[in-house]
Amino acid sequence: MSTRALRRLKGKQRGQEALDLGDLTSGDSPEEQAAGAEEQLDTANVSSPSGRNSRKANKNKAQKNFSNLYELIGDADNEAEEISADEEAEKPDGNKTSGMERNENGDIEKPDQKKEGASTKSSSGDRVKKKKKKKKTKVTSEDRKGAVPDDNIDLLLENLEQTNGLSLQTEDCGGSDRKSVLHVEHRNLNPETELKRYFGARAVQGDQRPRQRNRQFHRTTWMTSPKDSWPRFSRPGISMTLLQSKDGIQYFTFEHSRDYQQVQFKFLDAVESMDPNNIVALLQLNPYHIDSLLQLSDVCRIQEDQEMARDLIERAMYSFECTFHPLFSLTSGTSRLDYLRPENRAFYLALFKHMMFLEKRGCPRTALEYCKLILSLDPDSDPLCMLLLIDFLMLRSREYQSLLQLYQDWEEHRNLSQLPNFAFSTALCHFHLSQQEDIDPEESDKRRQKADQTLQNALIMFPGVLMPLLDLCTVQPDVTVTSHAFFGPKSRIGQPPALAELTALYVGRTCSLWREAAAMLWLEESVKEVLHRVDAKDPLVEDCQNKRKQRYQSAPRNIHRHVLLSEIKEATSSLPLDVTSQPVMGFDPLPPLDSVISYTRPERQRVGASNESTLSLFFRSLLPNFNLQGGQRQEDDMEVARAGQELNQEVNRLMVAMRDMLANIRFQEPPREDNPYRDEDEWD
């Protein structure tokens, strides 16, 4: 660094004199100055009386103290901190400074130091010293002001909680027992992190280099990475607000602006038209409308365009993340969103669909993070019933200890053992832990015994799981198993409807985990042991049978919603009739019956198709200005309108029947003259 730059950093002007290194020692603490003064007196007694050697020794001493010249810039702040600490220590007792003297600026100096400083300083050194002293007093006054709140920081935090209503997350908050389960890591939300772990960074990224020309700069997000092929992002009209903060939990909600509400009404009209092109046209005008992105993603997935379907979901998630509240956290597990509000449901559905794409893509660890994120948004009601899926993702990502910890923490208040997926997944988890190579033989035996006991209890509690599981695994069971009444067809037929739905969901989802040879041999041994216990009339068998009869009579609405979103055909076929008979929309499947509606859709003004006769419609098709009634009459007879509607329905049915008849007509081509195989009497 040049002398000019040093001069600017020190705050000096160009015309000021250079500061001698010997004068810089005066910025030291009083103890160091006293020690330096004693060393100078000693060297003066030993050296020649001329005094030149003493000045050289003093200069060498200064150069030893400052080996790096650039450290001199921050010495004033360090000195101020040391002096302020000494003043705070000496402030309560004024008698301790009896051997000291205070100068005009409040600094403490020893008498010897003061005399020596008066004899050695020049006029220019006095000016620099005064500037330094003024700077010291300013820093010490600021330290005095900042020392009081540092001592009472707990009181300040409590006052902030009371005034603002925002409580900090501590270990004693309401969700402390779920913190280990619902904790989400930012780096695991990116699927590239998992893919790099499997295949390496070079295989994932390849030779991709960011283009510098025409490059769009997007906001940094955690869940998705914006693509240059996306439309230019603009605020879609969604915002997030904080409703309340209670016991360390923050409750948020999304809100729609007036313009976004109008777009939402147009989207509902497009859905009712049953034409996906209307949704595409709406997205061209509003490229970041959430429900349109979700609905069109389902259409692309049905048409087997998986890449486009996934891209639309990622665009919806990016739109959501750009509207997050500053206090909303994805990783803390203390942010809540109420599923009863329609504005919040789209965020749940976007996360769920993105999680399913990640699981099919081969990223179970990333999908597990999103599963925990969805569960943390509303762990009490669990609107998408993520507890039916989290065990499968933990087994696929080999998070065995996390699964056992979840089961241990939540079993007491959620009865996870009554769910077939947790009953079998915990047993499978103990089995995989016993098969690890780096485990002690004694620990392995304990794990294996625990796995055997857990699997046998699961088979006794849910006997209807075995035969469908073996069927999907393409395993032919033994005759003793198929002929036994406990695992026979009667066990599946006599299941309550809710239990049949849970069983079909678990079997259809986790059959791939049981296809391993070691797991199948272990299952075979456990089945034989269960049959022995059943024949011996184990009291647990009768107890589990009574539990199955009393429970699982009807499944809650969130389980039906989870089955519809999972799209597992074994479970979908077991849904009750009241669910399958009603229309299910992809952007809001099975909405809660007690929804909290913030705004309502205005009633559409229907054209007089419902209260006009067929003859009137015919004349209207010929003459658009024709109006048989001459105006809107409020006293129209409802019976006439109903009769006209029924007539329209009959005409439509007749048209459909005629269309089908014409489509099925096949005309036979007449035979050619040069056909040698022609029958002579065919056309006679």
For 636-679, the DSSP string reads --HHHHHHHHHHHHHHHHHHHHHHHHHHH--PPPPPPTT-TT--
Distance between CA 397 and CA 371 in Å, rounded?
Answer: 13
The whole-number pLDDT of residue 5 equals 64
Give the count of alpha carbons within 13 A of 280, CB side only: 8
Buried b (16+ CB within 10 A) or exposed e, 326-365: eebebbbbbbbbbbbbbbbbbbbbbbbbbbbbbbeeebbb
Burial of 109 per CB tally in 10 Å (0-12, 13-18, 19+): middle
- pTM reported for the whole predicted model: 0.64
Gyration radius of the chain over CA positions: 40
pLDDT for the residue 250: 94
DSSP one-letter code for 211: -
List residues bridging with 108 in a β-sheet. Answer: 102
Nearest by Cα to 283 from 231, 348, 321: 231
Cα–chain center distance at 328: 11
Helix %, strand %, coil % of the chain (to 5) = 60, 5, 35
Q: Which amino acid is at 105?
A: N
Instruction: Output the CA angle 181-183-186, nearest 5 degrees.
Output: 145
pLDDT at 210: 52
Q: How far apart are CA 594 and CA 187, in angstroms?
A: 37
Q: CA torsion 471→476→480→482, rounded to 10°?
A: 30
Contact 43, 53 (CB under 8 A): yes
- pLDDT for residue 78: 45
Distance CA 320, CA 315 (A): 9
Tokens of 266: 């147009």
Paired tokens of 199: 């295949």
The pLDDT value recorded for residue 189 is 87
In degrees, to the nearest 5, what angle opens at C-alpha 259 toward C-alphas 258 and 265? 90
The residue type of 159 is N
Q: Which two tokens stand for residue 245?
A: 């903060």
- Using DSSP, state whether 588 is helix, strand or coil: strand
Give the residue ranges of the chain where pLDDT is below 70: 1-180, 205-220, 604-653, 655-684
- Distance between CA atoms of residues 377 and 462, nearest Å: 31
Residues making up the chain, counted from first to last: 684
